[in-house]
Structure 1
């Protein structure tokens, strides 16, 4: 017994074909949007690749770009099939391909759902990638004379100003590393000697942050040096006073930015998947209603369309039986080839 049977006359079939045709071309535009979002995400990752660990992957944006192209191609072909369904002479050439095309549409829906799931799960590896990459970026901030790291200071400063963040975890990260290049230190000065000699790594450490950590919204001039020394500043207490530097770490800020982007793209892909499911169901009804015409020579005759020709359990049983039959033919053939190779070796 067919599942979800619907009776059609010529007027209903034409209206269905026109509606599905419109949905297919709307889905083409959705595919262009998926492609554009994948390209945009890939560009955003490339722009800040210096701030990420070298192991960061472009699997998700590449998959989005591929799925966008597939959605455009499949839906353009589906739109052509729907348009030809209004003319029986043109539609006859598609009949032999419709079964494979519908199967491909179902597979495409599964791939879209998998892509959406990857978008939501990307936040987990991205968190580790950003944490490691930003730690290295802060550590290499001073290496303006080192090949390959000359622009790291500029990159980090622009990032901290754009995302309103400071350090990797927070502003205290700058207290733990030397972020002033030796080129700009007077090693004959007592203060420099004392700071370098006060730690085992012989680094020039201080309780200060780069200028890009300053919050321009603060009414007080930026206190970026001697941040933990209350006596160095008038009417200042770093324990109770709100510091006028960005308090949020850049790992959190970038993760929020990329995570929000991927959640938006994932939601978009789910909407595209629902649209794809809708056009696949519509095309199935068009195909079944044309195949069951009471009089194939009379296009105005009534017909029935269905979602599945049999019930769900019967359809599943048929698919399982076909898989078992195909495997029963393939396994003996593979066995014969293996034994033949063994005996030839002997």
Structure 2
């Protein structure tokens, strides 16, 4: 693109404004990462792994990097208005663009990850909720004493019951032995009827009760129609929350992810605009450096060479600083020395 003096000035001024907008975008991205990580930590007791924290960790990292990248973009654009101050950035710009491209690409990766983490989230919640329900009764066990409160609050807040549905509670003993009367015939019969010696019943905790139900909540003997007046458990939809907590939490977190992904995508587009504009400004200003008349028309471009050649050039720069490359070079020199010594050694004649 051709850049007359006035066009360069307008580009520098516009880039300065864009860079500060992008600084706020970086702060926004970092804040989204902190918010998401906080929300995940709130439900850590019903989640099984930490892989799902990769998204908020990446968001926080690229948010902080964006602050630095765009701060320097603002300084560079400001110094571009004075041809005598711009040359001091010359050695800084090549590694700067390398870092900018890397973190901008990482921002796009974080957007893709936010949409693609549903499988990991479901698996994490499936195991975590299963354990949470199993340890519900262990209010006297250190490390598990708050599990009951966590599950009860979760079921009431998200209007859900069990892992998949309310029948998950039928498969575990969720009433502690300290609250069971072992002299009662009913308790003894229930324990004897189970192979594992557990007290199982077709009942659920109070937190599964739906307050929208027109009748008082039925928690026990849920599958026994004759145990309650005017009751059929297969059609009593309002008595308990029908939705499982795994589905409720996945929908909640994926809703957050979709919103965060859209927000970060807009910041990504702003970041790409800043990097592209700065590249045009840099190459246009390089034509002014060393000229007596600083108001001449110059040419700006994104790539001086082809994409393949440019990528190779940047890879060479990266490899130059990698310790692995230095070790490989040293090993090559050692091998050459050994080869030279081998050539000098006279051959032993066959006997």
Same fold (TM over 0.5): yes
**1:336 maps to which of 326, 330, 333:** 333
Q: Does 1:146 align with 2:141?
A: yes
Q: Judge conservation of contact 2:52–2:117 (CA < 8 Å) in 1.
A: no
Could you tell me which residue of structure 1 aligns to residue 344 of structure 2? none
Whether 2:248 is the aligned partner of 1:253: answer: yes
* 2:328 is aligned with 1:316: no
Q: Which moved more, 1:245-254 or 1:231-240?
A: 231-240
Partner of 2:226: 231
Structure 1 residues 281 and 82: alpha-carbon distance in aligned structure 2, compared to 1, 3 A threshold = same
Secondary structure, counterpart of 1:89 in structure 2: coil
Q: Secondary structure at the match of 2:199?
A: coil
TM normalised by structure 2 equals: 0.87
Range with bigger deviation, 251-260 or 169-178: 251-260
Residue 146 of structure 1 deviates from its aligned partner by: 1.1
Deviation at 1:186, TM superposition (A): 1.0
Correspondence for 2:29: 34
- TM-score of the two chains, using structure 1 as the length reference: 0.89
Structure 1: state its 5+ residue gaps: 1-5
Looking at structure 1, the residues matched to 83 and 130 of structure 2 have their Cα atoms a distance apart, in angstroms, of: 66
* C-alpha separation in 2, matches of 1:57 and 1:92: 45
Q: Structure 2 matches for 1:281-300, cutoff 5 A?
A: 281-293=276-288, 296-300=291-295
Query: Contact 2:23–2:71 at 8 Å: present in 1 too?
Result: yes
**Shift of residue 325 of structure 1?**
11
1:240-274 CA-partner distances (Å, limit 9, x unpaired) = 33241111111111111122222322333322222
Structure 2 residue aligned with 1:110: 105
Match of residue 85 from structure 1: 80
The match for 2:20 is 25
Separation in structure 2 between the aligned mates of residue 235 and residue 156 of structure 1, nearest angstrom: 30
- Look up the match of 1:191: 186
**Relative CO higher for 1 or 2, CA cutoff 8 Å, sep ≥ 6?**
1
Aligned pair partner of 1:74 in 63, 69, 76:
69
Farther-moved stretch of structure 1 (61-70 vs 299-308) = 299-308
SS at match of 1:78: helix
Alignment check: 8 A CA contact 2:303 2:310 kept? no
Q: Do 1:127 and 1:251's aligned partners in 2 also have CA atoms closer than 8 Å? A: yes
> Residue 88 of structure 1: SS of its match in structure 2?
coil
Q: CA RMSD in A?
A: 2.7
- For the 8 Å contact 2:132–2:151, the answer to whether it is kept is yes
Pair 1:49-2:44 in alignment: yes
Query: Conserved in 1, the CA contact under 8 Å of 2:30 and 2:63?
Result: yes
Most deviating of 144-153 and 116-125: 116-125
Shift of 1:194: 1.7
CA distance in 2, matches of 1:245, 1:342: 81
- Distance in 2 (CA, whole Å) between partners of 1:247 and 1:327 is 57
Does residue 162 (structure 1) correspond to residue 162 (structure 2)? The answer is no
Change (3 A) 1:22 1:229: same
1:220-255 C-alpha deviation (Å, 9 max, x unpaired): 221111111111222111123324111111111111
Answer whether contact 2:126 2:246 (CA < 8 A) is retained: yes
Secondary structure of the equivalent of 2:155? Answer: helix
1:304 equivalent among 295, 299, 306: 299
Q: Report SS of the residue matched to 2:299.
A: strand
Tell me, in whole angstroms, the C-alpha distance in 1 between the residues paired with 2:160 and 2:118: 19
Checking the alignment, whether the CA contact within 8 Å between 1:295 and 1:301 is kept in structure 2 is: no
Q: What is the Cα deviation at residue 294 of structure 1?
A: 9.9
Describe the shift of the 1:167–1:69 C-alpha distance in structure 2 as closer, same or farther (beyond 3 A).
Answer: same
CA distance in 1, matches of 2:127, 2:287: 62
The aligned residue for residue 265 of structure 1 is 260
Where does residue 3 of structure 1 map in the other structure?
Answer: none
